[in-house]
Structure 1
Amino acid sequence: MEPIYNFSAGPAVLPKEVLQQARDEMLDWHGSGMSVMEMSHRGKEFMSIAARLETDLRELASIPPNYKVLFLSGGASSQFAMVPMNLVRGKKSANYINTGQWSTKALKEAKKYCAVHVAASSEDANFTYAPTQDKWNIDPEGAYLHYTPNETIGGVEFNWIPDLSGTDIPLVADISSAFMSRPLDVSRFGLIYAGTQKNVGPAGLCIVIVREDLIGTTVPGTPTMFDYKIHADNDSMYNTPPTYAMYITGLVVEWLKQKGGLQAMEKINIAKARLLYDFLDTTDFYHCPVAKPDRSRMNVPFTLKDPGLDEEFLKQARTHGLIQLKGHRSVGGMRASIYNAMPLEGVKVLVEFMKEFASNHA
């Protein structure tokens, strides 16, 4: 069977080794006689899985001890509400940087709980760049500053971390589609959250990494399930967490460690992105709309010179084993998501196909 390369933006490709291990352990996890899906989340078997996941994640991502790691359901979108509910802490407003659809959704949800100050936006150029910090207008009274380091749909990535030193404003990041794709200085953030279905696992799990001093004060009326402190005090076991998603995520984290950690993974991700972008920059048959300094390593959007060829491109791509390349319905065109588990060989096959297709339709 010819290899299939899955460029889906999420749920996304998982390491083959992880899927094989999950297959082998499906009916009987480590001699327990149970599938992980059947285990009590409070039983010793699953508790060991959860403990190892947190230990490995803390080690791999260099998470400081004064940060809580929470494993929550509801996906990253639940955090659009949970962040202001927990971090406003008596203040009236919060700062948001708007660089695409996920940023827009986050700030729209936050307006239900506080005034939103848009400190910067790239909407003037259809969200094709990341505003440099010298252009930001931050409200010093804002409870926090929220941004989206990588916009999955638009393919815009901040290749730098905002500097809020000299202020007491916590930096908050929805890092879903860039999480664990490169090293990150967690200590520069007040809170990081990420849906796992891009780089580190299946859909259904959201990982929240939050500084301890930021939890414990919620807006009036906050549901119990939306209180970070409740989850922190109960080791993410206040209710039944997404156990199987945690198990698979744990296997991916182990796989990342075996690959050499985040420094090694970053080198691979840079090589994959460079290969694709270098080709896009040598042809006028394809076009990437994102400003070069702000191009995502994870999500590469591109259009064809003749949009009438889109369906033929996707059809022929499938015959070459290249799937899930259609762009988001809101922007059209194509999008290649090249997350951690996408091998360099997959990007090479994609580029060769794109060259062939362009030559045949010049």
Structure 2
Amino acid sequence: MNLEQRIEAFTKLGDFFSQFTTDGFLKKDDSEFNTLFFDAFKMQINRAQEFNGWFTKENVLKAFESWNKALTKENLTFWTSKYNFQENNDPKNVAIIMAGNIPLVGFHDFLSVLISGNNAVVKQSSNDKHFLPLVSKFLEHLNPYFKNKITFTEDKLPDFDAVIATGSNNTARYFEHYFGKYPNIIRKNRNSVAILTGNESKEELEALGEDIFQYFGLGCRSVSKIFIPKDYNFDLLFNALYKYNDIINYKKYENNYDYNKAVYIMSLFNVLENSFVMLKEDENYASPIATVFYEYYESFENLLSRLKEESEQIQCIACNENVVDFVKLGKTQHPKLWDYADNIDTIEFLLKL
């Protein structure tokens, strides 16, 4: 199976995903795959929250929408065109150890290994283990080539030649100890930040709310901290974020809000809050659920220098200023195929194995 055929396979997968949207399930009459797969995916989406309380139906469907938009022939062709793909007559077994913080969070690594012609040996998180096996069955039905390319394991990893592992800073030390002798990509904790200038419109600040609240802030591309100029008017931000006030009606989120608020009060921290999100002045990047850290800056240029120095802690930077590598407010949760986690080029790594 050559690269063009693999691109075609994932294009068909993306088209199949288009039936699962936040507007509802839009079953196509002409899909050749629906008889076998539509109801299976629908059931798993409806039941996702039973297995992981954070995987609400809306958030799962947002993940499917995101991958539907990414998996087009145009995107897949553009993404792969910058590399020198040769027919892989010696595919490597690449172990993928996945996180489970948001739905389908490990899909990009899965896609990268297969699109490069290598074999995926997948160890899923217990928090997100029901979608990829269905995706694999879809691909295997589409082309028998994939039957020997994908292995799932819940036990000790079988033979492998390289490793892509995603986890916390603590698990990264474990990964480095056990997998350091193999070619590897080992990812640690990262968070995303936003820079506000005070000139943002209400619509732009509402878009920032998507970056903050989508997936309950659990993703590495979720904005957990904002940088603001001196004398910033917080009313502008709170008024715009009010659009998302319904999030407090979700019990797990509400419990985190109440718990963290109690901790802040008992610790005598000065916190700004509006009944569904808290803003706390803090130099750290990783904020608890229902909390966004903020920090003042005096010089935009000095802030950019600092963020560059601390880049290993940052996944992406949202800002509407025209700076290279920034993403627009509201776009952090919609990376392109070529927006690599931790800025490590996964395809380049895989093609060199």
TM-score over 0.5 (shorter chain): no
Say which structure, 1 or 2, has more relative contact order (CA 8 Å, 6+ apart): 1
Q: Please identify which structure carries the higher helix content.
A: 2
